[in-house]
Every structure is written in structure tokens, then in C-alpha cells.
Structure 1
Amino acid sequence: MIPSLILWFTLLSIQSIQAPAPSLEEQAIESVIRQQLDAFTFNDDEEAYRFASKQVHQKFSQDQYAEMIRADYPQITKSLRASFEKIHLDDAAHAIARVQITGFNHKKVTAEYRMIREEEGWKVDGLAIIPVRASAAPDPPLLQEIQSVIRRQLDAFKKEDYKEAYRFTSTSFQKQFSKDRFETMIRARFPEMARAASTRIGRAFLDNARATVELDVTGLNARIIAVEYRMVFEEEGWKIDALTLLDPLRRF
């Protein structure tokens, strides 16, 4: 009897520490990304392009898309394996997936996929390589300079001056988003930022000409959201290259 009880408690303990199974939405998102990675690996540009969003199709032809991915993301076009670190659903139609990808050269990169749900299902709407974070925070003067850009953009949001807010975004960002689309995205997906009552700067990491800053934003509705800014240094100074809504309970 005692051995049976020990076995039962052992099985119960193993089950209790297992990670929760991914949701159906997370499984669907992972499937799309894996299928696109496989398509790129086997040089099936047509199939890879099929998993891109309508917005991507409007900006890039199939050949342009494949050429861009091969030039900018060699680990993605020839991958050995992919490990999903986190999938965060912003809402019913938008999600962010972080994936560690190992290329044929055995070099690992962390990719952030911006996903959007369309009529046919989840599609890849954007892609960025996340820089390796340095162990130390930026020097105080440099951090103040980066924070100043973020706060000036938030001030522009408060004044509903989206033309001014758009000015603080990077060249790469502006190639992906027009000013009108930028305004629509902020109003729809980041309403707390459009009307922020208060902000608190969190952790900051510097990697040469790139930086990552975490920010807690309290909206006028008293709701608090956690946001990650990815910054890039350009000729005119620091610019906002990407913006991600984080899980407030467990940040990436």
C-alpha cells in the first residue's frame, strides 16, 4: 500500500509542476510561424509569403519580401530549430510572439513576431530581431537622453499632436507605418498612452546603438499597462523603433 501511495504522490507532483498547455490561439500562432520558417528553409518563397499579412502584401511583392528576409534575417531563412519563449495576446486580433531561432550557422537570435488575425487566420504582420541586452544600465546622462525622447512623445500624445509624436519614431518604423496608421494604432491598441495620467520608467538596457526601456503607464481610467520601448540611435539622435505591450504579471 505504501509504495502505491508514494507512486501516486510522485505522479501528482510531476503533474503539478508541468507548464500549462498553450491555448488554441497560441498553438495556431506557433503553427503559422513554424510553417513560414520551414517554407523559407526549403526556399519556398510563395508558401512563406502566404503567411504574411495583407499589410505586408501591400508593401512588398513576393520577391521583395523574400529578398528582405534573406538579407536582414539569415537565421530565419535557414533555421535549424525554433523555441518559443512567449506568446502574448494583446487582444483578439493582435499578438506578439518571441522566438529563439537557431540558424544553419548555429548562431542563435531572438525574433519578435508581430501577428494579426485576418479572415484566413493568424498572419505575420512584422518581424524584428531583439538585441542581446547588456548586463548594465546606460549611464545616467545617456539614460536621461533616451527617457527625454519617450516623455516628449507622450506629451505629444496628450496634446493629440500625432505629427509631433511621429517625429520621434525611427526611419525603419516610418517605412512600416504611415503617420495616419501610427495614430490609429496608438488610439486603438495603446489608449492609456494616448491619455497618460502618469508614467514610471523601469529597467533600461543598452546595446551599442540600441536600447530597451520598460515603462509603466497609468491611463486616465486608472488602468496600468507595461510597455517596452526599443530605441535606436540615428543621425538626429535617439528614436523609437518599436513599442510592445508587455504582460504586467510577467515581463519578457
Structure 2
Amino acid sequence: MNRAFKLCLLGAIFGVCGAAAFFQGAIERRWQTTPPTELYHVVSQQLAAFRADDYSGAYHQVSMGFQEKFNLEAFADLARTDYPSLLRATRVEFGQTKFHGRNAFLSAYFVMPEGDIVPCVYTLVREEDAWKIDSVRVLPRWPTNRRLGGLRT
């Protein structure tokens, strides 16, 4: 190979890498403009499936990474043993949404029948053309007299 051919090949490789970086950045910026309601819908679908004892439907809302760690039976056991109190919530209110690359972090507040609040942070990941739940972190329960901020109409 002569020197000119090697330089052209090297330039083409750098051009392809630059174009890939540009397009990946554009895709990530598009994900960050996802309306929060799209994320709320994913979480709400999973909660509705849990309440209907449709564990396969709820399992459909989790990420491939989560599914590699837990099969359907283990997922159902986890939901029944670790999160049954969340299913007793009278309502769920969603809070702040943050994006970082392919991940979205969503705050959810489960209002219990007694009036206390269980805050959770959902981590969602963008897989193909859909958002999937990757993890849920349940935070310490708030006492009954604590109120959520924001406006209610």
C-alpha cells in the first residue's frame, strides 16, 4: 500500500467515527426530549399488571438486563415478597424526571391508605424503541403528616 492510500483510509475511518459520534449524540438528545408521560405510562402499566396478578405483563415492562438476572418466577416472587405494600397505595404521583444517556430516573410517590408516603426512584433504560424499567429503589417511608410539593388542580 502506498502512503496516499493509507492516509485516505485513515481519513475515512476517522470520518466514519466522527459521523457515528454525531448521530449517537443526536439520538441521545432525542431520548432526553421524551415527554415524561411516556415514562409514567411504562410504570403505570407495570403497576396495573401487578394489581391484576398479571406477572408476565409486568415482566414485559422490565429491561433485558433485568430479565437476564431474574426469570419470570423469580420476578413474581420478588414482587410478592419485596413490594406488596406498594400495591396497596391509593394513588401514585410522579415527580422529577432526569435523563443520563440511555437512562431515565423517575421519582414516584406511593400514597398509602393511612396517608403516609413511600417514595421510590425508578431507573428506566431505552431499549430499541421503548423505555423499560431497569430497577426500582424504595426509599424510607415518609410520616403521615408530610405533604408532597407541587400544584394540585
Q: TM-score range by the shorter chain?
A: 0.5 to 0.7
CA distance in 1 between counterparts of 2:88 and 2:59 reads: 16
Contact 1:227–1:243 under 8 Å retained in 2: yes
Secondary structure of the equivalent of 1:199? strand
The number of residue pairs the alignment matches comes to: 111
Q: Which has more helix, going by share of residues?
A: 2
Deviation at 1:151, TM superposition (A): 0.7
Is 1:216 matched up with 2:130?
Answer: no
Runs (5+) with no aligned partner, structure 1: 1-137
Deviation at 1:248, TM superposition (A): 4.0
CA distance in 2 between counterparts of 1:181 and 1:236 reads: 26
Change (3 A) 1:224 1:145: same
Match of 1:150 in 2: 43
The 5-angstrom pairing of residues 35-50 of structure 1 reads: none
CA distance in 2 between counterparts of 1:242 and 1:221 reads: 26
CA distance in 2 between counterparts of 1:188 and 1:157 reads: 13
Is 1:246 matched up with 2:146?
Answer: no
Match of 1:193 among 38, 63, 86: 86
Match of 2:126 in 1: 233
The 5-angstrom pairing of residues 111-126 of structure 1 reads: none
Contact 1:225–1:248 under 8 Å retained in 2: yes
The 5-angstrom pairing of residues 174-185 of structure 1 reads: 174-185=67-78
Deviation at 1:233, TM superposition (A): 0.1
CA distance in 1 between counterparts of 2:72 and 2:89 reads: 20
Structure 1, residues 136-166: CA drift from partner, whole Å, max 9, x if none? xx54x52111111011111111111111000
CA distance in 1 between counterparts of 2:58 and 2:86 reads: 11
Structure 1, residues 9-42: CA drift from partner, whole Å, max 9, x if none? xxxxxxxxxxxxxxxxxxxxxxxxxxxxxxxxxx
CA distance in 2 between counterparts of 1:183 and 1:244 reads: 17
Misfit runs of 4+, over 6 Å: none
Q: Percent identity?
A: 28
CA distance in 1 between counterparts of 2:88 and 2:113 reads: 6
Contact 2:116–2:141 under 8 Å retained in 1: no
Secondary structure of the equivalent of 2:90? strand
CA distance in 2 between counterparts of 1:223 and 1:179 reads: 31
Match of 1:168 in 2: 61
Deviation at 1:236, TM superposition (A): 3.9
Q: Structure 2 length normalisation: TM-score?
A: 0.65
Contact 1:158–1:196 under 8 Å retained in 2: no
CA distance in 2 between counterparts of 1:222 and 1:182 reads: 28
Amino acid at match of 2:46: Q
Q: Structure 1 length normalisation: TM-score?
A: 0.41
Q: Which has more strand, going by share of residues?
A: 1
Runs (5+) with no aligned partner, structure 2: 1-31, 143-153
Contact 1:231–1:241 under 8 Å retained in 2: yes
